[in-house]
Amino acid sequence: MLSRENRVIGASIALLVAIALVVLPVAEDTLGLALSDQPLAAFVLFAGLAVLGPQLYLARTDEEISPRTRVRFAVVVSAVFALTFAEPGAVDWSEGTALLADLETLQHAVLVVVAVGSLVGLVCYEFVAGYRGRVVST
């Protein structure tokens, strides 16, 4: 018998596969939108359905694993996916405001900022939570 956690994660991956096989080809044919040309949309779809959605849902409803652990996992894996979807050489940070001129470059820059920002936010949260724990226990 599958555990509730495996059913939730499996259902989210099945939904992602169904969208990738049915909805995206129809959208590409009718609207001319290719997900491969939109790295930010691909990241939101993939990370949202395959990682963030199930982990945050389970963090709220499941009592076997600590919600804090699930949120940590979701943040770290989402940051890894954001860096994966962002092309390493696509962003020239020395261009400054020229990043806003090209949509694809802007999307890659947003992905890098999301990845770095989420990791920095997690480290800051853990630092503050650890500090509060020490203050309360003394």
Tens-place pLDDT, residues 6-27: 899 899 999 989 988 888 888 8
Tell me what pLDDT residue 107 has.
87
pLDDT, tens digit (0-9, with 9 covering 90-100), for 68-108 = 899 999 999 999 999 988 876 766 767 666 666 778 788 88
CA triplet 72, 6, 76: central angle to 5 degrees?
20
Domain enclosing residue 129, as ranges: 4-136
Q: What is the mean pLDDT of residues 46-50?
A: 88
DSSP H helices, 4-102, are 4-18, 24-31, 39-47, 53-61, 67-85
pTM score, whole prediction: 0.79
Measured CA distances, 28 to 20, 23, 25 (Å):
11, 9, 5
Cβ atoms of 78 and 118 within 8 Å: the answer is: yes
Count the domains in the chain.
1
